[in-house]
Amino acid sequence: MRHSKKTPLTSNFQRNSKIHTVTPLLISEVFLLLEHRRQQNDQKDEIEDMSEVFVKTMKYASRFSRYKNRETIRAVRNIFGARELHKFEVAQLGNLCPDSAEEAKALIPSLENKVEDDDLEGVLKELQAKKSFQ
């Protein structure tokens, strides 16, 4: 019987019931939501200053956003559609865009016994293609 390494992240991931009921967002999705909110604010008759936290969060999301439009984000989500990955794993793969299956499994330990390296390499190549053709 093989014992898997447990890190604080993976043990919390397995115990936390709330994580199974929410859908984690890609950073690109967060950026689109914040951009929409900013545009709504700009259209108001009354100028409302955006909070410092909002501005910093938007800058962060803009900087680390891997996919620039809704169609690409939808295509990225569809890459994972037929695979049995947890929503958390999908978001992490989409946000981190690891270069190899080895790197992906080091960053996301829950993938270790879940996905074959060849299949994961294929997914990562598809992600890289989506990132490249925007």
Between 92 and 12, the more confident residue is 92
So what's the pLDDT on residue 1? 38
Both tokens assigned to 11? 């043990």
So what's the pLDDT on residue 3? 44
Distance between CA atoms of 27 and 122, rounded to whole angstroms? 22
Distances (CA, A) of 1 to 4, 6, 14, 97: 10, 15, 19, 31
Distance between CA atoms of 110 and 6, rounded to whole angstroms? 9
Distance between CA atoms of 90 and 93, rounded to whole angstroms? 5
What's the whole-number mean pLDDT along residues 50-63? Answer: 94
Q: Structural domain boundaries of the chain?
A: 23-132
pLDDT in tens, 103-121: 999 999 999 999 999 999 9
| Averaged confidence pLDDT in the chain | 86
So what's the pLDDT on residue 28? 97
Task: Give me the CATH topology for the region 23-132.
Answer: Growth Hormone; Chain: A; (1.20.1250)
Between 43 and 61, the more confident residue is 61
